[in-house]
Amino acid sequence: MRPLDPRLLRTAAAARTFVVAAAALSVLATVCVVVQAFAIGHAVAPVALDGVDLAAVATPLAALVGAVVLRAALTWFRERLGAQAAVDVVAQLRTRLLEHTSRLPHRWRTRHGAEVTTLATRGLDDLVPYVTGYLPQLLLTAILTPLTLLVVLRLDLVSGLVVAATLPLIPVFMWLVGVTTQRWSEQRLEALAAQGSQLLDLLAGLTTLRALGREVGPGVRVRRLGEAYRTTTMQTLRVAFLSSAVLELLASLSVALVAVEIGMRLVYDRIDLATGLTVLILAPEIYQPLRQVGAQFHASTNGLTAVQRVFAVLDEPLPADGERAVPAWDRLVVSGLAVAADDRGYLAPADLDAVIEPGRVTALAGASGAGKTTTAMALLRLQPPDAGTLVLEHDGERTDLADVASAAWWAQAAWVPQRVVTSGGTVRSHALGGASGPDAEARLVQAAEATGLAHVVADLPLGWATPLAAEAGGLSSGLSVGQTHRLELTRALVRGARLVVADEPTAHLAPGDEQEVVAALRAVADAGAAVVVVAHRPGTLAAADVVVQVRSSAPAEVAA
């Protein structure tokens, strides 16, 4: 685990800015420390030896006051910069993490989604102590400690050699304790990730578990994970407290050695009082940054471990992207499509052939786990196939979908998940999707009539001004699941999407609601879009123009 990972500076601009500012503040703090030590030595020595009054030492006293005030101001300013930098660094890393994850294949996100969720929330929050405490102390140690040691060597060679001989003991013990602390921090983050994954899975399936009367059973597993997290956290804290005590003991003994040898030489008049006092004041300042960086290191190991996990995700290679524009395609031909089902040893889907055409509703049917959603992700360029091709036919030509720029393809495609995600706003603003002007309003009215959303809006007390939830679904706004699907299909029509992919939009709906959603899908197809729907229910399958059976391969076939 590196004290300062260069990748952090490259990834987060706020970290680079803070490092430069903290280094400059550390240089100024070093000057204040040296001036403070000289001022004390040259103010106390004349008074103690010659009995002069305070007026005779007014200059060193004024320098002492100025150095103390300036040092306090520098410390306050550094802490304020650190607090803001911590917020910015965490935000920038979180943004990079989520942006990179969103561009990774669908199968990778399905497998690691819960881990990334935990990492982006609780994991990166642990980085704050690193930025606010450890990083400034690390820079202060790199600047103040060697400079003040040089000053001591220049003033008193014997004391400087004592400090130089004992100083390396602190980083050696820091490294020994750090190795153990890192191991506990990694275990703590793993326990936190496992607990987060279990909780997310539990919440996602809570309705089903409650329907089966099994909602209490997973609580035992969650309780065990919580106990594992508590145990590893306490072990990390135990090591941190013990290591801090060891570092304090080493630093105290080292300063005591300097004090003893200076006292002995003062007795035998081998060193003057002003120099002895100056060196004695500087000696603790040499060790202090190392002691603090050791204490802050143990408080920030959890954040450093989280950063390593973030960089591991950022190192995941992104799928290759094309550069061509989207042609005016007439058909999307799927030939031999196959995607490996992670490490489970089979393909889902396997050897899939299909033809997607505008103006038709194509249903993807098959057993659970056969790869229907993965097929939908491949059509949306969110999951690269391991075998097979997706080809756009247009004007007698053929263009491989892999050669088309993803951003351009997404601009003319629409995705309708099982649970529609809204981000606040109103029914009108969500249906418009950022479009504006008289043409957009006219398209909205036409699309809402086609999908049946107009009748839904007419029954709402606030009509088009009905506020939507800022999270998943619109249930808190008075919209049912089926109505949110019609809202999303209306949005696709307003955008003029050529490809609309819906993932089981009629699942868990009453027969009447199912027919309304099916009618909305038909309206979207009649408007000229190619509609692909993942479906299980017979009513939805019967309403489709084409039903494509999606199958997975047996493990034996893959092995062969």
Q: How many whole angstroms separate alpha carbon 518 and alpha carbon 527?
A: 14
CATH dotted code for 6-314: 1.20.1560.10
- Residues 228-270 pLDDT 10s: 767 767 766 676 677 667 777 888 888 899 999 999 998 888 8
Amino acid at 71: R
Contact assessment for residue 337 and residue 374, using Cβ atoms and an 8 Å cutoff: no
Distance of CA 445 to the CA centre of its chain: 40
* Length reported for the chain: 560
What is the model's pLDDT at position 180?
A: 62
Assess if CATH 3.40.630.10 describes domain 331-559. Answer: no
Which one-letter DSSP state was computed for residue 54? G
Q: What is the model's pLDDT at position 182? A: 62
What lies within 8 Å, CB to CB, of 297 at 6+ separation is 3, 134, 174, 178, 181
Where residue 390 falls (left for φ over 0; alpha for ψ -120 to 50; beta otherwise) is beta
Distance of CA 122 to the CA centre of its chain: 9
pLDDT, tens digit, for every residue of 182-220?
666 666 666 666 666 666 666 666 666 676 677 666 677
Q: How is residue 232 written in tokens? A: 């590893």
Spatial distance between the Cα atoms of 119 and 316, rounded to a whole number of angstroms: 15
DSSP string of 124-175? HHTTHHIIIIIHHHHHHHHHHHHHHHHHHHHH-HHHHHHHHHHTTHHHHHHH
Identify the residue whose tokens are 């004992």. Answer: 166
Report the alpha-carbon distance of residue 424 to residue 287 in Å, rounded.
54
Q: What are phi and psi of 308, to 5 degrees?
A: -60, -40
Q: What is the pLDDT of residue 306?
A: 83
Q: CA-to-CA distance for 489 and 459, rounded, in angstroms? A: 19
Return the HEC string of 345-381.
CCECCCCEEEEECCCCEEEEECCCCCCHHHHHHHHCC
Rounded Cα–Cα distance for residues 98 and 104 (Å): 10
Flag residues of the chain having pLDDT under 70. 1-3, 174, 176-209, 211-212, 215-218, 221-222, 225, 229, 232, 235-237, 239-240, 243-244, 294-295, 298-299, 342-344, 470-478, 554-560
3-state secondary structure of 176: helix
Give the count of beta carbons closer than 10 Å to the beta carbon of residue 459. Answer: 9
DSSP 397: E
State the amino acid at position 138 in one-letter form. Answer: L
Whole-model pTM above 0.75?
A: no
Residues of the chain with CATH 3.40.50.300: 331-559
- Judge whether 333 and 401 are in contact, CB under 8 Å: no
Listed residue (455, 539, 551, 529) closest to 504, CA to CA: 539
Distances (CA, A) of 423 to 410, 427, 436, 443, 477: 19, 11, 18, 22, 12
CB 459 within 8 A of CB 506: no
Q: Where in the chain is the domain with CATH 1.20.1560.10?
A: 6-314
pLDDT at 560: 34
Q: How far apart are CA 333 and CA 321, in angstroms?
A: 19
- Burial (CB count within 10 angstroms: exposed 0-12, middle 13-18, buried 19+), residue 3: middle
Within 10 A of 447 (CB to CB), how many other CB atoms are there? Answer: 25
pLDDT given at position 194: 66
Using DSSP's 3-state secondary structure scheme, residue 550 falls into coil
Cα separations in angstroms, 158 against 151, 200, 401: 13, 63, 75
Q: Going by DSSP bridges, is the β-strand pair 387-394/352-356 parallel, antiparallel, or unpaired?
A: unpaired
